[in-house]
Amino acid sequence: MEAYTQNLIEWIQTLSPLSIYLIFGVIAYLENIVPPIPGDLLVAFGGYLAAEQIIGFSPILAITTIASVIGFMNMYAVGAYFGDKIEVQRKKFWLMRFFDVKYFDKVKRWMDQYGQGVILANRFLAGTRSVISITAGITKTKVYSTVVNSTISSLLWNTILIGMGWLVHENWQIIGHYLNVYGWIILSGIVILIAMRILYNRKRHSAKES
């Protein structure tokens, strides 16, 4: 994947500004559909290109944010349309072959408890973004609120990434390391919170029985 990403980066640098905007829009969109795509790192690369004045900061931010929201809502539509089949067939359903079922179960619990708060935080929850959009569709959250919150989430996250790429300039690739660390911290925090929640519920249940 790293070699593929490096080749993609070298190719992007040979393109015209208009083509670069198009490529970044496609990348931001596909990241919501195909999770393995290193979209965050490439968006940070967009910040470097903006710092080099090859492309504009505001246009690349707008394009990646809009494309991210469209990708999110497309997966929302998939979840809304195939909801019953996904719920019943689970591992057998073609779509769920691309996702870890344990993440699907976690996100369902989050949606039940926090609703739109999960959508608002989706870009900051590494490893679960595509599952969140599908689950939002399955639970049929309000479309307007979902669009607004996914837009805010994407705008904030992309601003951070592009801003970091702009600030560190030619050292933008170090952002990939920090993104990996961030991802592990977030996932570890989620596991700890879930464990604490389970222990709390068990203690409360035991207290009621006694």
Query: In sequence order, what DSSP letters do the residues of the chain get, joined into one string?
Result: -HHHHHHHHHHHTTS-HHHHHHHHHHHHHHHHHSTTS-HHHHHHHHHHHHHTTSS-HHHHHHHHHHHHHHHHHHHHHHHHHHHHHHHHHGGGSGGGGGS-HHHHHHHHHHHHHHTHHHHHTGGGSTT-HHHHHHHHHHTT--HHHHHHHHHHHHHHHHHHHHHHHHHHGGGTTHHHHHHHHHHHHHHHHHHHHHHHHHHHHHHHHHHHH-
pLDDT of residue 135: 85
In this structure, the number of other CB atoms found within 10 A of the CB of residue 2 comes to 9
Alpha carbon of residue 126 to chain centroid: 6
pLDDT averaged over 10-residue windows placed end to end, the chain, 210 residues: 64 85 90 72 82 90 94 90 70 60 72 84 76 86 92 90 78 56 49 60 64
Structure tokens at 38: 């290193």
pLDDT of residue 184: 46
Full-model pTM: 0.74
For 26, 80, 168, the CA distances from 109, given in Å and listed in that order, are 31, 17, 38
Neighbours of 36 (CB within 10 A): 8
**Token pair for 192:** 């700890």
Cα–Cα separations (whole angstroms), residue 110 to 115, 131, 158, 163, 185: 7, 11, 23, 30, 18
